């Protein structure tokens, strides 16, 4: 029983890691980033490659992935998103195209495979990352087996959520992001550099995705198409939690994580997905704007 709850927490924390970035970007910019899952994937590959070539462990890969994915995010924002601010819905499509490109870039090893060059750690095959020794030995707490790696994921997601909350509610830049979320034109009229803040917001969201990817690489097989299903799960969390609500994302990922874990315990993973999907539909029917949302009227 406790095992199931623990797995639920761990699933929820992974969901939260993915959904945090999505929620902030969609909530403040109205941009639908379908490449978010691929950014997670890039984070995972950063862990893979840094283990092979830089010989650093998972912990060090975290900040590296954050920086790389944030940089990638800035690039995407500049080249693609910036041209679509007057037709936000098309960001869904354009970022999907970017997602395809990112996936193929990894699969085709950035084009090198055409020349017969194979880069270890890239390509269509499966990759994996070894978890640092300190996190791989299960700890016995009486009857309950504590999986340290999963606990680590839960801790990281709490830390990141707290850090995001701090950025949003206790710093000047967070205030500006929230102002833009409420009313973009007024924020600009108040002297906020909306373009710059949007670019930084997108970069931050992408960086978070990168960290999520590193965490995933420790327990999931890393492959080029691991991102597609994630972006769906991430958006389901955002839809249930309420757009723009940090608390909503946390609660929603917790609820959906526990639900998945419990249903999977009694039947299997696929039925769990079906049940979670049905529950999401029910929640949307009952509360179309999500569980928590800041829009009063």
Partner 1 sequence: MTHSHLKIMAYVIFIVTVLMLPLALDEFWLNRTAKYLIFGMLGVAVSLSWGYAGILNLGQGMFFGAGAYMLGMSLKLASPTSLEQGTESPIPDFMMWNAEPNAVIDLCCINSGSFLWIPFQSQTFGLIMAIALPVLFAWALGSIIFSKGISGVFISIITLASVLLMRLLVVDNQALTGGFNGLTDLAWFTVFGYEFDPYSVTTYYLVACSLIVVLLLTRLLINSRSGLILQSIRDDQNRAKYLGFDAAAYQTFFFCVSAAISGFAGLLYVITSEFASPTFMDLTFSITMVIWAAVGGRASILGACIGAIAISMLGSSVSESELFVESWQAILGLCFVLVVLFMPNGLAGIAHGLCKKFVARQDDKKQRNEQNKAEELTKGGAA
What is the four-CA torsion angle of 252, 253, 256, 260, rounded to 10 degrees? -170
Residue 288 beta carbon to partner 1: minimum distance, rounded to whole angstroms: 4
Taking the C-alpha atoms of residue 51 and residue 124, their distance in angstroms, rounded to an integer, is 18
CA distance linking residue 256 with residue 240, whole number of Å: 9
Nearer to partner 1, 92 or 190 (CB): 92
Phi, psi for 51 (deg, rounded to 5):
-70, -40
Query: 160 vs 209, which CB is nearer to partner 1?
Result: 209
Residue 1 burial by Cβ neighbours in a 10 Å radius (0-12, 13-18, 19+): exposed
CB 73 within 8 A of CB 206: yes
Q: How is 61-81 classified by DSSP, letter by letter?
A: HHHHHHHHHHHHHHHHHHHTG
Q: Among residues 129 and 230, whose Cβ is nearest to partner 1?
A: 230
Say how many residues touch partner 1, by CB under 8 A.
Answer: 39
**Residue closer to partner 1, measured from CB, 105 or 188:** 105
Residues 6 or more apart in contact with residue 270 via CB below 8 angstroms: none
Site string for partner 1, 114-133 (x = CB under 8 A): x-------------------
Q: Which is nearer to partner 1, 56 or 270 (CB)?
A: 270
| Sign (positive or negative) of CA dihedral 271, 276, 278, 279 | positive
Closer CB to partner 1, 115 or 140, in the complex: 115
Q: Is 99 in the site for partner 1 (CB under 8 A)?
A: yes
Which of 56, 101, 119, 146 touches partner 1 by CB under 8 A?
Answer: 101
- Residue closer to partner 1 by CB (options 189, 285) is 285
Query: Coil, strand, or helix at residue 139?
Result: strand
List binders of partner 1 among 38-67 (CB under 8 A).
none
89 binds partner 1 (CB under 8 A): yes
Identify which range of 39-47, 57-65, 257-265, 269-277 contacts partner 1 by CB under 8 A. Answer: 269-277
Site string for partner 1, 214-243 (x = CB under 8 A): --------------xx--x--xx--x----
Nearest to 111 by CA among 99, 120, 123, 100: 123
Q: 214: closest CA among 71, 46, 68, 52?
A: 46
Instruction: Decide if residue 74 touches partner 1 (CB under 8 A).
Output: no
- For partner 1, the closer CB: 87 or 133: 87
Name which position in 54, 63, 83, 247 contacts partner 1 (CB under 8 A).
Answer: 83
- Would you state the torsion angle of the CA atoms of residues 199, 204, 207, 212, taken in this order, to the nearest 10 degrees? -140
Q: Which residue has the tokens 């992001």?
A: 177
Please select the residue that binds partner 1; options are 93, 159, 190, 247, rule is CB under 8 A: 93
Q: Report if residue 84 touches partner 1, rule: CB under 8 A.
A: yes
Q: What number of residues does the chain have?
A: 297
Residues near partner 1 (CB under 8 A) are: 26, 32, 80, 83-84, 87, 89-90, 92-94, 96-101, 103-105, 108, 113-114, 228-229, 232, 235-236, 239, 268, 270, 273-274, 277, 280-281, 284-285, 288
């Amino acid at each position: 029983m406790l095992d199931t709850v623990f797995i639920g927490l761990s699933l929820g924390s992974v969901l939260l890691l993915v959904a945090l970035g999505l929620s902030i970007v969609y909530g403040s910019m109205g941009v639908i980033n379908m490449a978010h899952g691929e950014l997670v994937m890039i984070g995972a590959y950063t862990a893979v490659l840094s283990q092979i070539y830089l010989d650093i462990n998972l912990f060090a890969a975290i900040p590296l992935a954050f920086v790389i994915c944030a940089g990638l995010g800035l690039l995407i924002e500049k080249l693609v998103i910036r041209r679509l601010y007057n037709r936000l819905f098309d960001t869904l499509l354009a970022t999907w195209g970017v997602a395809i490109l990112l996936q193929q870039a990894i699969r085709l090893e950035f084009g090198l495979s055409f020349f017969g060059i194979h880069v270890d750690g890239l390509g269509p095959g499966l990759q994996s990352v070894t978890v640092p020794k300190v996190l791989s030995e299960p700890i016995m707490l009486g009857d309950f087996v504590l999986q340290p790696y999963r606990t680590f994921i839960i801790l990281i997601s709490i830390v990141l959520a707290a850090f995001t909350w701090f950025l949003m509610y206790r710093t000047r830049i967070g205030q500006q992001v929230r102002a833009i979320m409420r009313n973009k034109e007024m924020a600009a009229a108040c002297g906020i550099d909306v373009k710059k803040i949007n670019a930084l917001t997108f970069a931050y969201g992408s960086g978070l995705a990168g960290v999520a990817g590193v965490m995933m690489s420790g327990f999931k097989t890393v492959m080029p198409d691991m991102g597609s299903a994630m972006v769906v799960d991430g958006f389901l969390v955002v839809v249930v939690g309420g757009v723009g609500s940090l608390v909503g994302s946390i609660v929603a990922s917790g609820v959906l994580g526990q639900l998945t874990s419990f249903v999977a315990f009694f039947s299997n993973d696929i039925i769990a997905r079906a049940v979670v999907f049905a529950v999401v539909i029910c929640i949307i029917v009952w509360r179309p704007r999500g569980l928590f949302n800041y829009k009063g009227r």
